[in-house]
Amino acid sequence: MNASRTATLQIATPEGVAFSLPLAGPFTRAMAFSIDFVAIMAAMNVIAPILRAMQLLGGDTGMGVAILIQFVCMEGARMAMELFWRGQTLGKRVMGLRVMDESGLKLRPSQVVVRNLLRFVDMLPMFYALGGVVALFNSRSQRLGDLAAGTVVVRTIKTTPPDVAAVLAGKYNSLRDHPHLEARLRQKVGPEEAQVALNALVRREELTPEAKITLFENLANHFRELVKFPEETVHGLSDEQYVRNVVETIFRRRKGAD
Amino acid sequence: MIADLKTFIERERPVWQELERELGRVREGLASLSDLKYSRHLLALYQRASADLARIQGYSAEPELKAYLENLVGTGYAEIHSATRNSRHFKPWQWLTRTFPETFRRQLWGFNVAVMLTLVGAMLGGILVLHGNEGREAIFPSQFGHLVEQTPSQRVAREERPTEFDRMAGHKAKFSAELMQNNITVSLRALAFGITFGILTVVLLFYNGVILGAVAVDYVMDGQIVFLFGWLLPHGSIEIPAILVAGQGGLVLGRALIGWGTPHSLRKRLRLITPDLATLAGGAAVMLVWAGIVEAFFSQYHAPVLPYWVKITFGTLELIGLIAFLFLCGRRASSKPAA
C-alpha cells in the first residue's frame, strides 16, 4: 500500500487486486469540522433550556448532571457520531467524507477514540494549525490524530457503471452495409483509439458544446482517414454519429468473440 | 482490452448490483456475515467483482467503470476483511474488569516510568518548599491559591472550626461534576501529549509531582500529617493513580513513535498500541469519575464531622482495592504444561 501524488490511497487486496481511495483535502475537512462545530453549538442551544430546567428543578444534583451532559456532548459528540455512523459525522456526511482505517478496513472503536483524543493537540496553537501543517506535508493528508490512530479521511463518491449499452444501442448503423470495410476498420483501429472514442461518447454530457464539436470532428476525421466508406453510406452523418457508428462496429459482439 | 464491453457490462452488472445491495444490507445490520452460507455467497460476489476490476485494470480507458468497480471492491474489502474485527460486541463490564487491568499490566513499564517521574518531581517540590516559602507562588498553580495565602495549620484550623451548617450543602454534585470534567480533561491531555514523542507527558507528570511533593512537605513541616492523609487519601488514592495511568498512555504513545526495542515500522507500532491507548484513556476516565464523587462528597469533610481515622482507613482500603484490581483482575488461569 502506498500513497500516490494525486492524493489517493492505493490498496492491494489479498485477492491480488489493487484499488484506490480518493483522500480528502484539508479544505473539505475544515468545512466538515465547521459544520460539526455549528451543529454541536446548535444542539447545545437546543438543550440549554432543558439543562437550565434541570438546574432549577433538580437543585444541586440537576446542576451536576447538567454540567456532565454538557461536557459529554462537547467532547464526545464527534466520537459518538463516528462510532455509530461508520466513520462519518454530520459535517463529513454533508461534505461526502468518511474516516476509515488506512489499510482500507473498517474503523475499530479504539481508532475513533484515539483520533478524537488527539484532536486537541492538532488544534494547537489555534484553528487546527498544527494538524493542518502536518496534514499538508503528509502524503495521506493525515493529521496527528490520524497518524496515531492509523486512519485516513477519504471522499465518498457515488459511482454508477457507465451506460455503454445506451450509448451503443438505438440508431441504425449504416457502416454495417459494408462488412468487409468494417473488418478493415476493426483491424486498423487500435485499442487506445477505440477507448478514446468510447469515452468521448460515454462522457459527452460532461463536455461543453464547443469542446464536443471539436472532439467529435477530430475523431471522425481520424477514422475517415483510416477507412474510406462509400459516400452514399456516410452522406449526411454528423461527426458524432460517425464516431458512434465506428464505436458500435468495433465493440459489437461478433460470432465467436467474447 | 475487453473486445465486447457492452456484453461485459450487461453480463456482469447483475453481479455488481447484487453485491452492492448485499453490502448495503450488511452495513445496515440487516444481514450478518456470521451466516456461513450467506458469507460464502457474498465472498463469491466480491471475488467476481474483484476479477472484473482486475480485468479492466490493464487499460487506461473506462475510467467510470473503473471508478465504480474500485468503489464496489473497496466497500466489499472493508466489510469482508473486517468481519472478524467487530464480531464481538463491546461489553462494558468485561472491558472494565478484564481488558483494562490486562492492558495496564501489559504496559506496566509506562506506569512505572510515570511513577518515577512523579516521585522525582515530588522530591524537587519538597526540596523547593524546604528551602523557603518565597517560591511557593511559583510552584502552586493559581487554582491552589489557598496553599499560598495561608499556612497548613491555619487551613486545618479553619476546616476544623465547628459550624452550624454544612458548607458543602447544595453544591456537592456540582462540585463533583466540575472535578470530573477538569480532571478527565487534564488527564486525557497528558495522554494526548504523548504525540510529542512523550516529551510533554513527561513534563506534565514531573510538574504534577512537583506540586504533590510541595504540598506534602508543606503540611509535614507544619505538623499536619494526619490532616494531609485524611484530606488526600480518600480521593487521591484513585485520582493520582488515574493521572499516572493517563501518563502511562502518553508514554506508551511516545515510545511507539520513537520505536525503542521493536523491529516494527512506525505504522505497525502505532497500530499495535491503539487499542491499549483507548483502554487506558477510558480506564483513567472511569477512575476519575469515582475520584470526583469521593472528593466532593467525602474528602471535604474533616474532623470533628468525620474522624480522620475513618477517612484514612477508607482511602487505604481504596488504594489496596485499586492495586488488587489492577494487578489481579482479569488474570486467566495458567494453562497446564504439556505432559
The string of pLDDT tens digits covering residues B266-308 is: 999 999 999 999 999 999 999 999 999 999 888 888 777 788 8
Across the range B2-13, mean pLDDT stands at: 74
Prior bond of A179 cis (ω within 30°): no
d(CA B268, CA B271): 5
Which residues of chain A neighbour B13 with C-beta distances below 8 Å? 161
Structure-block grid coordinates of residue A19? 484499488
Listed ranges A134-143, B158-167, B262-271, B313-322; the one with the highest mean pLDDT: B313-322
Find the CB nearest A157 among B7, B60, B71.
B71
Contact B44, B50 (CB under 8 A): no
More confident residue, B165 or B182: B182
Whether complex ipTM tops 0.85: yes
Residue A258 has a pLDDT of: 41
Please report how the helices A191-202 and A209-226 are oriented relative to each other, as an axis angle in degrees rounded to 10: 150
pLDDT of B338 over the 60 cut: no
Task: Specify the 3-state DSSP secondary structure of A11.
Answer: strand
Task: State chain B's mean pLDDT as an integer.
Answer: 87
Contact A154, A97 (CB under 8 A): yes
Q: What is the pLDDT of residues A39-51, one digit of tens each?
A: 999 999 999 998 8
d(CA B260, CA B221): 42
Residue A187 has a pLDDT of: 87
Contact across the interface for A60 and B61, Cβ inside 8 Å: no
Res. B149 pLDDT band, cuts 50 70 90: confident
Q: Is B290 exposed, middle or buried (0-12, 13-18, 19+ CB in 10 A)?
A: middle
Structure-block grid coordinates of residue B81? 476483511
In this predicted structure, which of A134-143, A149-158, B164-173, B214-223 has the lowest mean pLDDT? B164-173
Share of chain A above pLDDT 70, in %: 91
Task: Specify the 3-state DSSP secondary structure of B279.
Answer: helix
pLDDT of B251 over the 90 cut: yes
| B241 CA: distance to closest CA in chain A (Å) | 20
| A240 CA: distance to closest CA in chain B (Å) | 19
Across the range A159-186, mean pLDDT stands at: 78
Contact across the interface for A160 and B68, Cβ inside 8 Å: yes
| A205 CA: distance to closest CA in chain B (Å) | 13
Residue B87 has a pLDDT of: 54
Q: What is the pLDDT of residues A62-108, one digit of tens each?
A: 889 999 999 999 889 999 999 999 899 999 999 999 999 999 998 99
Find the CB nearest A68 among B1, B180, B189.
B180
Element (H, E) at B109: helix B108-130
Nearest to B202 by CA among B125, B110, B127: B110
